[in-house]
Amino acid sequence: MKKDALLIRLLRTNISKAQLTGYVVANVIGLAVILTGVLFYSDCTTTSTETDDRFMANDYVIVSKNIDGIAFAPVAFSENEIADIARQPWARKVGRFSSSQFGMRASASLGGRGLSTYMFCESVPDEFFDIKPARWNFDPQHPFIPIIISKDYLSLYNFGFAMPQGLPKLSEDVIGSIPIDVTLTGQNGLSATFEAAIVGFSSRLNTIAVPQSFIDWANNRFAPGSTTENAWSSRLIVKTDPLLTSQMQEYFSTRDIEIAGDREADSRIAGLMRTVAIAVTANGAIICALAFFILTLSIYLLLQKNENMLRNVIRLGYQPNKVSRIYERLVARINCGVGAIALTASLAARSLWLPALHSAGLGGGNIWTAIGATAAFIALSSAQNTMLIRRRISALSS
Amino acid sequence: MIKKITSQALLPRIFRGMEAGDSLKQSQVWLRPDFTLERGCRVCIAAESGSGKSSLLSFINGWRSDYDGRILFDGRDISLLNAADWSRLRTFHLSLLPQELCLFPSLTARENIQLKNALTNHKSTQQITTMLERLGIADKADTPVARMSVGQQQRVAIIRALCQPFDFIFLDEPVSHLDERNNREAATMITEEAAASGAGIISTSVGHNLLLPESTTIRL
């Protein structure tokens, strides 16, 4: 490198510090705005804990067909309808609810008083759960039924049922420690009792959920032959794009499909916040594009001003590649510097909004997205600059 | 190593349509079916201004390609050479002192020479200093070339041309601004260097010849 010091000094003749400073300043601002937008979007769409997916990260809806009057025939989605939903731009993933096709009775002892109730259970594929309890599996050899219930049920019990009945109010931890006996009775007369426990509370699924493997096994054993398509598709859980909520709602309302719960307000705020984040990112991209244009122009002017000198260096015997590399290293260093400053600035900005988002249960965004965006910027910008430099210098050597 | 440079029916494109003229008919180079420069030759190409001396050297050194006909290095057509080939040839096989010198005005005399020597490592710092002394510009070694006279610049360019191994050295009016003493010293240095490796010397002139002993004069 020392050997090339003279060549480097010569080739840096005519570099305009003012132009380079302009590029660095403009690009730092542009990239910092982009990264801030990326981080903000990521924080607004990711919860800070594993169990809470309220507000903006609420990307799931549960849908079922409207029932008029009393319906005895199965009310279910056909395969075509499910496929059509999956094809919609707002639908990211569709899961089917599987329900129990046998009788279920649960009993437990609370404060010395026995409690017994008929019940049902459902399941969806594991990827749709907002929580993943440690004991979430079912092994027929050692049968134990883990149950997840809606957080709303616990509230209903504590504040709607336990108080007027004089029963104790229970926390999530206490509920989990209560042993429950579940007796399954099939239409084929088969009956068996299993140990069960509530292992978690979901704010996403408004049902009594058990592992898919248990439903499959129990339906097969206690209601053989009854696992029809209709039973599998009466309710669907759909992971949606919150930015397209209005399209989704219009789709379902025109098809007489009901969306469980009222999440419209959340979705609107979520949509607004995300639109803001996208607008910020887009502005940053425009600033970056302009800054990029400044650098391209600077390189072009520099190479033009140094044209005779570059030609003479090549005629001395220096390889065009070696000459190009000196300029390529320069722009790569500048772009790395721009990336580092902009990333630092955007992470500093993130620390300003993070406490507020944490208090709303959000702010679990991944900074690797921003680091990835920075790396992509450095790579793309340097690659384009390199191409320009090589093309110009190669033209001088021919 | 290049042993032989041959031109076949070579003609600068700018001379197209002038083939019937006396000057081209009498030329020993242009349009000749087989003009050859052998390694070890001592050639002075004498001609009037505008007859294509600089063009000939530019063609042979790959600076320009606006010619008809062919130029061959040991039978290989130079139009087939790529940028890397030319870099290698200009570093180790062909040395050219162009008429316009092509020095870098912002660099000092020594830096201009070092820029070439850094590629080849052909001369030591002491040898470069000795050459500067022999041509009487040692005191200008650290002066930017922009502040030197044309004669001084010519001497810097001569030393730079010698800071590489070569099979042929081409000198385009190398002593046009030199006095006789410096002309003789430059000729001696170039001859010594060429003789050491058996290289050929091709010099051009419009009347102020490099004082090479036993050189053949060719009419362009």
Q: How confident is the model at residue B71 (pLDDT cuts 50, 70, 90)?
A: very high
Q: Read off φ and ψ for residue A257, nearest 5 degrees.
A: -110, 135
> Average pLDDT, stretch B81-86?
92
User: Minimal Cα distance from B107: which residue of A?
Assistant: A10
| pLDDT the model gives residue A56 | 47
Q: For chain A, list residues whose CB is within 8 angstroms of any CB belonging to chain B.
A: 3-4, 6-7, 10, 13, 309, 312-320, 394, 397-398
| Shortest Cα–Cα distance, B21 to chain A (Å) | 32
DSSP symbol at B80: G
Inform me whether the C-beta atom of residue B80 falls under 8 Å from chain A C-beta atoms.
no
Q: Which residues of A touch B102 (CB under 8 A)?
A: 312, 315-316
What local confidence, expressed as pLDDT, does residue A74 receive? Answer: 62
Note whether A19 and A298 are within 8 A (CB): yes
In this predicted model, what pLDDT tens digit does every residue of B115-168 receive, in sequence order? 999 999 999 999 999 999 999 999 999 999 999 999 999 999 999 999 999 999
For residue A24, give how far its alpha carbon lies from the nearest alpha carbon of chain B (Å): 27
8 Å CB contact of A320 and B83:
yes
| ipTM, interface predicted TM-score of the complex | 0.91
How far apart are alpha carbons B15 and B33 in whole angstroms?
17
Return the H-helix or E-strand segment holding B77: strand B76-77
Quick one: which of A281, A334, A309, A258 has its CA closest to A27?
A334
* CA A121 from centre of chain: 28
pLDDT of the residue at A229: 46
Q: CA nearest A126: which of A209, A60, A208, A203?
A: A209
Of the candidates B84, B90, B106, which has its C-beta nearest A315's C-beta? B90
Q: Residue B100's closest chain A neighbor by CA?
A: A312
pLDDT value at residue A111: 65
Query: From B95, which residue of chain A is nearest by alpha-carbon distance?
Result: A316
* Inter-chain touch A315–B83, beta carbons under 8 Å: no
Name the residue facing B119 among A309, A317, A398 (closest C-beta): A317
B35 touches B7 (CB < 8 A): yes
- What share of chain B in percent tops pLDDT 90? 76
Closest-CA residue of B relative to A317 is: B87
Give how far A331 is from chain B: nearest CA, Å: 23
Interface with A, mutate which of B81, B108, B115 (most A CBs under 10 A): B115
User: Coil, strand, or helix at residue B160?
Assistant: helix
CA–CA distance, A215 with A210 (Å, rounded to integer): 7
Out of A6, A312, A320, closest to residue B102 by CB: A312
Q: What is the amino acid identity at position A121? A: C
Residues in chain B: 220
**The predicted structure's pLDDT at residue A48:** 59
* CB-CB neighbors (< 8 A) of B87 in chain A: 314, 317-320
- Report pLDDT digits (tens) over B177-220: 888 898 899 999 999 999 999 999 999 987 777 777 777 888 88
List the domain boundaries for chain A: 5-51+268-397, 58-263
**pLDDT of A387:** 92
Task: Kindly state the average pLDDT of the residues B32-54.
Answer: 90
Is B119–A320 a contact, with Cβ atoms under 8 angstroms apart? no
What is the reported pLDDT for B95? 96
Of A4, A319, A394, Cβ closest to residue B87: A319
E strand intervals along A100-190: 103-110, 113-119, 122-123, 144-150, 180-185
Selecting from 3.40.50.300, 3.30.70.20, 3.40.605.10, 1.10.486.10, what CATH number does the domain B4-219 have?
3.40.50.300
Q: What residues in A contact B118, CB-CB < 8 Å?
A: 3-4, 6-7
pLDDT in the model for residue A232:
56
CB contact under 8 A, A319 and B116: no
pLDDT value at B84 more than 60: yes
Q: For residues A202 and A53, what is the distance between their CA atoms, to the nearest angstrom?
A: 9
Residue A82 · residue A161 · CB < 8 Å = no
Helix (H), strand (E), coil (C) string for A80-119:
HHHHHHHHCCCEEEEEECEECCCEEEEEEEECCEEEEEEE
- Residue B68's φ and ψ, nearest 5 degrees, are -100, 160
E-strand ranges in chain A read 60-65, 91-96, 98-99, 103-110, 113-119, 122-123, 144-150, 180-185, 191-202, 208-209, 235-240, 257-259
User: Of B106, B114, B118, which has the smallest distance from its Cβ to A13's Cβ?
Assistant: B106
Alpha helical stretches, state H, chain B: 22-26, 53-60, 83-92, 109-120, 125-134, 150-162, 180-197
3-state secondary structure of A67: coil
User: Is it the case that residue B9 has pLDDT exceeding 90?
Assistant: yes
Give, as one character, the DSSP assignment of residue A47.
Answer: B
Whether residues A316 and B119 touch (CB distance < 8 A) is answered with yes
Window 160-199 of B, Cβ < 8 Å to A: 164
> Which pLDDT score, from 0 to 100, does residue A266 have?
60
pLDDT confidence tier of residue B22, bands split at 50, 70 and 90: confident
Position B69 scores a pLDDT of: 95
Instruction: Annotate B97-126 with b (16+ C-beta within 10 A) or e (fewer).
Output: bbbebbbbeebbbbbbbbbbbbbbebbeee
- A10:B164 CB<8 A: no
C-alpha A148: how far from its chain's center? 22
Predicted confidence pLDDT, tens digits, chain A (398 residues): 456 888 998 988 878 788 788 888 888 888 888 888 888 888 877 665 544 444 444 578 888 887 776 666 567 788 888 899 999 988 888 988 888 888 899 988 766 777 788 888 888 888 888 888 888 888 888 888 999 988 888 888 888 887 777 777 888 888 888 889 999 888 778 888 999 999 888 877 888 899 988 888 888 888 877 655 445 577 888 888 766 777 888 888 888 888 875 555 566 666 777 778 788 888 878 887 887 787 788 888 888 888 999 999 999 999 999 999 999 998 899 999 999 999 999 999 999 888 887 776 677 778 888 899 899 989 998 999 899 999 999 888 76
- B106 and chain A: CB distance < 8 Å anywhere? yes
Contact list in A for residue B106 (CB cut-off 8 A) is: 10, 13
